[in-house]
A and B are shown apart, each in its own frame.
Chain A
């Protein structure tokens, strides 16, 4: 397939292909971070994760409409406001869901699967009733569209750069909160041994609630960012849920580093295979690879060593 192309052509294609892989990597990390906290740290199988993302996407849509109607001058920067609103909205909904539903099910992890699946159906229908069954188009400010011309052949997508920066920022923030802050220590303590954590004076219920809300909030930000590259409709969340679980499980559910490495390996395999083969075949091969590795290492790539 490379016959008859000049060296410069090929180089630029490979650079851009590498960049495509990195964008996919960032997208996967952003998708999976929220779930890595909820599923990895708390052990809640949250099937409604995609719907929390779409709530963020709808918030972005609403914010864009508000800015267009009331303050069109500030439209170029609306996206930053939208992400904050998305975080708050999804986080608040997450807190409500934790209080009303999840906290009664901590001792029955498999039931959270059913309950959150039901929740995802309810949320989908709620979006459909509120925003209509059709997809909504989220308008982007001019500066976020198009690509930067690096050399003659190499073009770098601005929204790709944006997603990468955002992912980096959120990953660093989450890493800091979970591993270096006092609150993060409490979260990890509660997850490792709930009774002991309670005995040393940690308000475990509060920790649970805020951890769940944080995971949902990050899902909201991810959903907000994905309005740049994907669709915003009542069932769009379903597009992400399988990949998200795949990444978290493959990485080893309890390790944030595992999630990142797993996102990296899956995204690189995916995008390289997709370049040389076709879209469907690439997906099949990637999934086969994941299944094979999970057969050898059922616990995922990384495991947290704790005494059970």
Chain B
């Protein structure tokens, strides 16, 4: 450092420039405001679109990104961060929101739920973010929810989750449990003639709630079907040989697996090693996206079925554009899973809602959200429901050795989100 004088001087120069810039800022703001007013007559005045003191200027609007980029959950949340940044840059290229470019402030939740709450407060109270794209696990969402409700913020939450929640201050861009479970079970019952099921899951709220819904559906709504076993494993469990033997003994038509994280890798590797051939034994999962297959290895899971709303291989023009833009920005080797796509919807839905409401105000956005449609979604057309979840299709894909899914079924219509399903609780 010291041998190179220009380097050590740089911070000083920078500081000076910054100070100059700051001093000049009021004038620049005035000038650009004037020119902007003349050049783009359709850009509404800030005083009109922002009545509650959000971080909105004549040229810029600030949003927050709040995910874990360190800690255990970084594995899963990285894709969401990438998708949100891509969406923001695309929106900016297309002219921004109400004539304002989106600037984002990224905070790290560090896989720690209190940290999420603290950072959420910082984004809302100090930075006055007009919206926050973030959270991944239910635990982190539950931690930030009171903060968003207290300080009246707007959260776009991307993950498929267990349901049983609805808030004015959250838009859920992933599926709630019934959207992911019921259509998949119906499909496997109809096309594979499956009558008996073995339910597996990691031991926390999402798999347990999901399996509860699955069990109710199997026992009450599918004729002649039964559940042969239901088991949970601590998070991080790596030894599945005993349960695999049990499954061999029970001979279920379908293994229904909701195992997450590192356990997933162990489970599928050991399943394969134990000689369970997924081309003969039907396995349906709702927890393995293309992201997870990267770690599991395509050859270990080929033949399994996954029930999601999005697969990277979907064949439609929106998705082709999305995949190529994503790869251009983040590298050829990256894969895109269900949640990554749902995260991509967040900024777009927010932009469309703001434009519909003609305002950045949180209350107006919350009120305007129901009915907002996004025709350019990679998964196809989506629409926001009264309950702030999305109408979207349910799809079943078959895992290929290449690590991709091949679409084998999709519902004819959009499935209605139902976070508080009657008869399933």
Chain A residues engaging chain B, CB cutoff 8 angstroms: 1, 5, 9, 13, 16-17, 19-20, 23-24, 27, 125, 128, 132-140, 145-147, 149, 155, 157-160, 226, 228-236, 238-240, 270-272, 274-275, 278-280, 282-283
User: B229-260 vs A: 1/0 string, CB under 8 Å?
Assistant: 01111101111011111101100000000000
Contact B272 A146 (CB under 8 A): yes
Given A133-B78, A228-B269, decide whether A275 and B245 contact each other with a Cβ distance below 8 A: yes
Contact A279 B262 (CB under 8 A): no
Stretch of B4-12, B152-160, B294-302 at the chain-chain interface? B294-302
Q: Say which residue of A17, A125, A236, A278 sits within 8 Å of B70 (CB atoms).
A: A125
Given A13-B249, A17-B245, A233-B262, decide whether A134 and B78 contact each other with a Cβ distance below 8 A: yes
Contact A135 B78 (CB under 8 A): no
Q: Does B203 contact A (CB under 8 A)?
A: yes
Given A139-B299, A280-B234, decide whether A13 and B273 contact each other with a Cβ distance below 8 A: no
Q: Does B270 contact A (CB under 8 A)?
A: yes
Q: Say which residue of A157, A160, A230, A270 sits within 8 Å of B265 (CB atoms).
A: A230
Contact A155 B265 (CB under 8 A): no
Residues of A within 8 A of B248 (CB): 13, 16
Closest B residue to A20 using CB positions: B241
Closest B residue to A162 using CB positions: B273
**By CB atoms of chain B within 10 A, which of A9, A128, A136 has the most?**
A128
CB distance from B402 to the nearest CB of A (A): 12
CB distance from B219 to the nearest CB of A (A): 19
Contact B243 A279 (CB under 8 A): yes
Contact B232 A135 (CB under 8 A): no
Contact B249 A155 (CB under 8 A): no
Contact A230 B232 (CB under 8 A): no
Q: Does B71 contact A (CB under 8 A)?
A: yes
CB distance from B312 to the nearest CB of A (A): 15
Residues of A within 8 A of B352 (CB): none
Identify whether the interface residues of B are mostly helix, strand, loop, or mixed.
helix
Given A9-B249, A134-B294, A233-B75, decide whether A280 and B242 contact each other with a Cβ distance below 8 A: no
Residues of B within 8 A of A125 (CB): 70
Number of B positions contacting A (CB below 8 A): 47
Contact B262 A136 (CB under 8 A): no
Q: Say which residue of A20, A134, A274, A282 sits within 8 Å of B291 (CB atoms).
A: A134
Contact B245 A279 (CB under 8 A): no
Q: Does B423 contact A (CB under 8 A)?
A: no
Closest B residue to A125 using CB positions: B70
Closest B residue to A284 using CB positions: B234
Contact A278 B75 (CB under 8 A): no
Residues of B within 8 A of A132 (CB): 78
A283-B234 Cα distance, complex, nearest whole Å: 8
A65-B69 Cα distance, complex, nearest whole Å: 26
Contact A279 B295 (CB under 8 A): no
A138-B69 Cα distance, complex, nearest whole Å: 23
Contact A139 B75 (CB under 8 A): no
Q: Say which residue of A147, A232, A235 sits within 8 Å of B71 (CB atoms).
A: A235
Given A231-B262, A231-B264, decide whether A24 and B273 contact each other with a Cβ distance below 8 A: no
Given A16-B245, A23-B241, A139-B299, decide whether A239 and B75 contact each other with a Cβ distance below 8 A: no
Closest A residue to B250 using CB positions: A1
Residues of A within 8 A of B264 (CB): 231
Given A137-B294, A137-B297, A235-B72, decide whether A5 and B249 contact each other with a Cβ distance below 8 A: yes
14 more A-B residue pairs beyond the given contacts A137-B293, A160-B241, A234-B74, with a C-beta to C-beta distance below 8 A: A13-B249, A23-B241, A128-B74, A137-B294, A145-B273, A157-B241, A230-B238, A231-B264, A233-B262, A235-B71, A235-B72, A271-B239, A279-B231, A280-B233
CB distance from A18 to the nearest CB of B (A): 10
CB distance from B157 to the nearest CB of A (A): 20
CB distance from B295 to the nearest CB of A (A): 3
A147-B275 Cα distance, complex, nearest whole Å: 6
Q: Does B274 contact A (CB under 8 A)?
A: yes
User: B256-285 vs A: 1/0 string, CB under 8 Å?
Assistant: 000001111110011011110000000000
Given A133-B69, A233-B295, decide whether A146 and B246 contact each other with a Cβ distance below 8 A: no
Closest A residue to B68 using CB positions: A133
Contact A236 B74 (CB under 8 A): no
Residues of A within 8 A of B263 (CB): 231
Top 3 closest pairs, chain A to chain B, by CB: A135-B295, A231-B265, A20-B241
